[in-house]
A = this chain, B = another copy of it.
Amino acid sequence: MSDLRPIGVFDSGVGGLTVVKALRELLPNENIFYLGDTARVPYGGKSASTVERYSIEMTDLLVAENVKAVVIACNSASAVALPKLEETLAVPVIGVIKPGAQAALAATRNQHVGVIGTRATIKSGAYERELRALNPQVRVSACACPLLVPLIEEGWLEDELTDRVIARYLGPLVHQGIDTLVLGCTHYPLLVHAISRALPKTVRLVDSARNCAMAVKKLLVQSYLSAPAGNLAGLEIALTDAPDIFLSVARRALQLEIGEVQLREVLHATKL
């Protein structure tokens, strides 16, 4: 059995394209429909109830595209909206938190894992919960790094100032003795070189994009949802607002073939 319907991927913006890149490398025959909520980006500083509401709206748009599975390629949305989406969606849904937590536990030797992400992700405690559910002995040190996404959007990927901001965020985690660091935001793989420079060589990096793609592959195989081998897979991209500057950063840094970008409207009815 095989299934040509696309995998639906959504993110608050275009950061989730790091997950798309990992998916295309791992699943070259799968069609992908990517939706970025650039009209309301970022989710990372917003409240849990607002992020949950936005996530449901984005998922509705993906379901309308007849997707066979939904990937939440956004840590903030995975952290707060996954339970609700698992409960309400008719297709399987995969977030980035659980695959990242599993990979971190496989990587750590001293059972002390660091997590970095947006304010919303860190405040939710989602990684901590997932890590402890899998291993109650694990120690977790978490740090919100709200300046990293703006630095990435500015394109300062290889930059001494970015290095210093990262050093300030990561210093305390290193001092506390982590031996593994989860990049808990889909933008962060674009800073992987800068982040590596701020860490002792012994600290292992866990990239949630790559681990999420592996979880998707496993799900498709187990559920008989894979596309046929030899399928000429396509990538469609839609955004809720005009493409922002990060799209050009992502194109350059990810070397992802991105064709025409579509627009999807989220209509608003104000109410008192």
- A interface residues with partner B (beta carbon < 8 Å): 38-41, 45-47, 49-50, 53, 57, 60-61, 64, 119, 146-147, 150-151, 153-154, 161, 164-165, 168, 241-242, 244-245, 264-272
Using A39-B46, A45-B153, A46-B244 as known contacts, list a sample of 9 further A-B pairs with CB atoms less than 8 Å apart, ordered by residue number in A: A38-B46, A39-B50, A49-B242, A57-B268, A64-B272, A146-B153, A161-B165, A266-B270, A268-B269
A146–B119 Cα distance when bound, in Å, is 19
The number of times this chain is found in the oligomer is 2
Given contacts A45-B153, A241-B50, contact A266 B268 (CB under 8 A): yes
What's the nearest-Cβ distance from chain B to residue A146, in Å?
6
Contacts of A61 in B (CB 8 A): 270, 272
What's the nearest-Cβ distance from chain B to residue A267, in Å?
5
What's the nearest-Cβ distance from chain B to residue A249, in Å?
12
B267-A269 in contact (CB<8A)? yes
A240 and chain B: residue at smallest CB distance: B50
Contacts of A64 in B (CB 8 A): 272
Task: Identify which of B38, B168, B264, B269 contacts A269 (C-beta below 8 A).
Answer: B269
A241-B151 in contact (CB<8A)? no
